[in-house]
Structure 1
Amino acid sequence: MPAYELPEEFCIAIKGHNGWSNNGEHFAKYALAVSFEAINKDIPIYVPFSILVEAEVETEIEQEIETEIEISDMT
C-alpha cells in the first residue's frame, strides 16, 4: 500500500482462538516488528519513538519504587 493511502492512525489487534483462555485471567505473549523505509532520510522517526520508550521505562521504574516503599512501610 502506498504511504499516501495510509490512514493518519491505525490499530493492530490480537484475536484469540480456540485453545486460548476465555476468562481473561491469562495473558498471551506476542511480538510485533515494524520496519520503515524512507526515500528521503530527513524523516524524524527515531526521536519520537525513543521519547515514548524512555517515558514508559521511567514510569515502570517509578511504580517499582512506589511498590517497594509500600512493602517496607508494612514491616
Structure 2
Amino acid sequence: MWWIVYGAAGVALLSSFKGDKSAIWDGSTIGMSIGLVVAALNGFELSMVAKCAAIGALYGLASQMRAMIEDRHTQGA
C-alpha cells in the first residue's frame, strides 16, 4: 500500500517541479523534517522519513487544490 502513496506523492512532486513555489514541496519538506525527528527517536528507520515526506507532499497537494477551488469560487462571486 505504501508504494501507492509513494507513487502518488512522487507524481505530485514531479508535476509541481516547474513553476512557482508550491504547497506540495512545502508539505514534503515539513513531513521530512518531522520524519527525521520521529525516526531518530525510534532507531532511525529511513522508511519512516519516506512515509512522512510522502504524506506531507499529499497534504500539500490537498492544500493547494483547496486553495485553487476557493479562488475559483471567490472570482465567480
TM-score scaled by length of structure 2: 0.43
User: Which structure has more RCO (C-alpha within 8 Å, separation ≥ 6)?
Assistant: 2
TM-score scaled by length of structure 1: 0.44
Q: Which is greater in Rg?
A: 1
Larger proportion of helix: 2
